[in-house]
Structure 1
Amino acid sequence: MKARYSRISTPNQSLERQIQKQNPDEILFSDVVSGTVAFADRAKGKILLEEIRAGRITWVSVASICRLGRNLHDIINTLAEFQSLNVTVRVDNLGLESIVDGKVNPTFNLIVSVMANVGVMERETLLERQKEGIALAKAKGVYKGRVRGSVESDSEVLSKYKDVVKYLNRNQSIRNCAKLSGVSVGTVQKVQSILKKSKHESV
């Protein structure tokens, strides 16, 4: 069987662009998780790997290589496992497939490695620019971050971390919730505490 893997970082993002080229015979696996979370630690990524290891999936397509991850090491490891299991990976925006006529495509490996590296560098550059922008805004006295000492309401926290709420309700461990949602363990504990308080008050 064939599969298409897609990923968005937050629920308010759209999957439409990633599934435009989906074929009717492709089973869709979609995650809502940060690209920094390892592929094997994602809810649907984990299921997809299980299907591949069971021999039920032999083809995986993605819109772009960054959907697999934002960590170069993890991307390479994921692709290496796919390759070892004779799974063909197609990257839409590159128009390349990892296996052609039953043989490993060396051009695919080379270009994907370069593109993955570029993606990681772009993310690091973006984060650096964000830090510089915040520092500049603070220097000018116009930084509009959360006021020191201000506290988000419980409903604001639950709304902000919907993924965490979802995974906690699925009885995922605190550490798994953090990985799947791309947040810190402390944030998960905070959300868990609010949920427990809400349940107690409703009794």
Structure 2
Amino acid sequence: MKKAKYIRVSSSSQNTIRQYHKQTPDELVYVDVISGAVPFNERPAAQELIKAIEAGSVDYLTVESIDRIGRDAFNIQSTIQYLNSKGVNLKVNNLGVESLVNGKVSMTFKMISDILANLSQMTRENIREAQAQGVHLAVLAGKFKGRMKGSTIPDDVILSTYKNVVKELKLGGNSLRKVAAICGVSLATVQKVKRILDNPTEKK
């Protein structure tokens, strides 16, 4: 077998040691520091992995968990289908199951991965909802003052909530749509943050 391991963390501050835990000496390792909202085939390390698969250099891939592939159910399922089409056996370490059995798609793996893919997406959506609720409660508590014209949420609350978006915009080099994908937020959110950065509210 030609083995590889794929690791994804959302930010450089997250520790990858746990995902390295079951690494074997003969594995090639690909690491992406990127939001799970970014499609698998648009991530730098994943693109290199895909090149290796296309070249026939990888036929066995391990990930720590399904959500390392992504946080979008459709993208996760599409990626698994791609791996199956290339004859790449995917092992999910925290489940101890493989996608192929004797070269054929495992129905057990498909059932489990479909469920977990949807759970991964639900988890991401719940996190975003909780974040929005936190902002709303902060506004109600009167902890923040001032607001962007036409917005019910103060500028400083928005910038504090979407620090990752602020960071990506300040780094530059990516389109607003790409920033939205990297940070796992809507294009409208990125546009709103950009407007605030471009036209900061004058302090009295």
Q: State the TM-score, normalized to the length of structure 1.
A: 0.75
Query: For each residue in 1:33-84, what CA deviation from the matched residue of structure 2 results, as whole angstroms up to 9, or x when unmatched?
Result: 0000000000001111111111111011000000000011111111000000
Q: How many residues align?
A: 179
Residue equivalent to 1:9: 10
Residue equivalent to 1:197: none
Give 1:122's aligned amino acid: T
Query: For each residue in 1:73-124, what CA deviation from the matched residue of structure 2 results, as whole angstroms up to 9, or x when unmatched?
Result: 1111110000001000000111100012222211001001001111111111
For 1:163 and 1:54, the matched residues in 2 are separated by: 35
Within a 5 Å distance, the mapping from 1:14-33 to structure 2 comes to 14-33=15-34
Moved over 4 A (4+): 143-150, 162-165, 173-177, 183-187
Structure 1 gap ranges (5+)? 151-156, 191-203
Query: For each residue in 1:143-166, what CA deviation from the matched residue of structure 2 results, as whole angstroms up to 9, or x when unmatched?
Result: 59999567xxxxxx9xx737984x
For 1:43 and 1:179, the matched residues in 2 are separated by: 17
Task: Tell me which moved more, 134-143 or 42-51.
Answer: 134-143
For 2:11 and 2:146, the matched residues in 1 are separated by: 20
Superposed CA RMSD: 3.2
Give 2:60's aligned amino acid: W
For 1:84 and 1:97, the matched residues in 2 are separated by: 15
Identity of aligned residues (%): 36
Residue equivalent to 2:140: 139
Within a 5 Å distance, the mapping from 1:1-203 to structure 2 comes to 1-143=2-144, 161=167, 165=171, 168=173, 174=175, 178=179, 181-182=182-183
Give 1:161's aligned amino acid: K
**Aligned CA distance change for structure 1 residues 52 and 144 (closer, same or farther; 3 Å):** farther
For the 8 Å contact 1:58–1:87, the answer to whether it is kept is yes
**Aligned CA distance change for structure 1 residues 58 and 126 (closer, same or farther; 3 Å):** same
Matched residue SS, 1:127: helix
